[in-house]
Amino acid sequence: MANPEFKEDLDVLDKLSVCLYRLGISLFSIGCLLAAALSYEGITLASVTSPFDQWIFWMLLTSTVLSAANIHVYDKTVRTVVMWSGWLALLLVVTGFPTWVSLGFCFVVFSGIALKESFCFRVPGLKLIPVLLVIAVLCTALNKLPVLVALYTTVGGIMGFLSFKKWQMPLHFDIGLKANYQI
């Protein structure tokens, strides 16, 4: 976890990684809101068939990889679980697994991010994100559209507010003290 009271000198790669991490959170929020609109129209991401479905699914997957690859967590084990969940989501899509399985691993990444950020921010509902995302995976697999609309809208709104707050912060807040990272 970063210490906002300490200002580390950031190089270009540090700044880029923080911006990509924040971009991933922003894209995830937008992707969830678009998935809510898709669910409202009677379509789930359980079977991606149209170009618009694919576009939303790939937006969620891209946001996952961006955030997972650039997460800043001191603990090596937590960082590894979050990062590898993101890469596993991508691998499952490439190997032909159902999209809802890949979404499950995307949601593992953002559950970890939500819990990580809940230690730094008092964003209402942030600690509920993991529960909401588990329910969303189940509802996607079971094709429960009305529930998905509510879940994706709630998650998209909470993560959107988090994204808004993150972009207002100085970049060094995300890094903290580099010496504290387990390698």
Over residues 66-95, the pLDDT tens digits come to 999 998 888 888 889 999 999 999 999 999
With a cut of 60, say whether residue 1 has pLDDT above it. Answer: no
With a cut of 70, say whether residue 4 has pLDDT above it. Answer: no
Least confident segment among 36-40, 151-155, 156-160? 36-40
Structure tokens at 99: 């999209």
With a cut of 80, say whether residue 52 has pLDDT above it. Answer: no
pLDDT digits (tens, 9 = 90+) for 107-157: 999 999 999 998 877 888 999 999 999 999 999 888 888 899 999 999 999
With a cut of 70, say whether residue 6 has pLDDT above it. Answer: no
d(CA 133, CA 130): 5
With a cut of 90, say whether residue 12 has pLDDT above it. Answer: yes
Residue 47: in which H helix or E strand, if any? none
pLDDT of residue 127: 94
Structure tokens at 86: 């993101």
Mean pLDDT (whole number) for 51-73: 90
pLDDT of residue 69: 92
The DSSP line for 53-94 is HHHHHHHHHHHHHHHHHT---S-HHHHHHHHHHHHHHHHHHH
Mean pLDDT (whole number) for 16-33: 96
Mean pLDDT, the chain, whole residue set:
88
Instruction: Look up tokens 């937006």; give the residue.
Output: 59
Mean pLDDT (whole number) for 34-39: 90
Residue 128: in which H helix or E strand, if any? none
